[in-house]
Amino acid sequence: MAARTRLALTAVIALGVLPAVSVAQTPPAAGGGAPATLTDRDRSDIRDLVARYAQALGSCAAEDYAKLFTPDGTFTTDDFRGAKHREIFGPRGTLRGRDQLVRLVRTEDFCLDGSRRAATSSRPVPTVRIEPGPGGARGSAPIGADGRYDDVYVKTADGWRFKSRSFINESGGLKPASQRTSSNTAPPPAAR
């Protein structure tokens, strides 16, 4: 009888412990446990991130701009349009990390004087289509006739950040600012 009681007690304890062990050993979701779905709040926060991107770039706030990315975040473009950008980075490229992102903003044609300015733009903040993605979310935002942004967002302790942002030129190839049509000459709300 004592053996049966001990066996039953062992089974009860094991059944109580196994679920806890099972949960403790479940690996986190890819990318640090980001949700497979996005809440309305997540979507709102990501839209806010995109708006802050436009604000920081448009006002030449280089450090604010860089902090919208993860420390190892990237900005990729197939079309650096500004003369200074082409001189430094070439016609296309990927910039990695916040130091390079600060440099990107400081070398925007309209930021070269080194002073912050009021953010003005003839274009609204792009509307971004947001979908859950591995480790966070993905987004795509058309920016008029110029092209689109393809983004990867991750949720950090500081909120949603760009893991990567890519500008895809859809306006006909590598055109310096001086060769674009007048409808495309206003600086977009994001770096190229």
Cα(23)–Cα(29) distance, integer angstroms: 13
Range list of H helices, 26-138: 30-33, 40-58, 62-66, 83-89, 97-106
Domain definitions of the chain by residue range: 38-184
Tens of pLDDT, residues 75-84: 999 988 888 8
Tens of pLDDT, residues 26-74: 233 334 444 568 999 999 999 999 999 999 998 999 999 999 999 999 9
pLDDT score for 120: 59
User: Which pTM does this prediction carry?
Assistant: 0.70
Q: At 130, which helix (H) or strand (E)?
A: strand 129-133
Give residue 22's pLDDT band: very low, low, confident or very high (50, 70, 90): very low
| Cross-strand partners of 152 | 138, 164
Q: Residue 139: helix, strand or coil by DSSP?
A: strand
Tens of pLDDT, residues 134-191: 899 999 999 877 899 999 999 999 999 999 999 998 876 544 444 444 333 334 444 4
pLDDT score for 115: 74
Q: Which fold has domain 38-184?
A: Nuclear Transport Factor 2; Chain: A, (3.10.450)
Tens of pLDDT, residues 94-110: 999 999 999 999 999 88
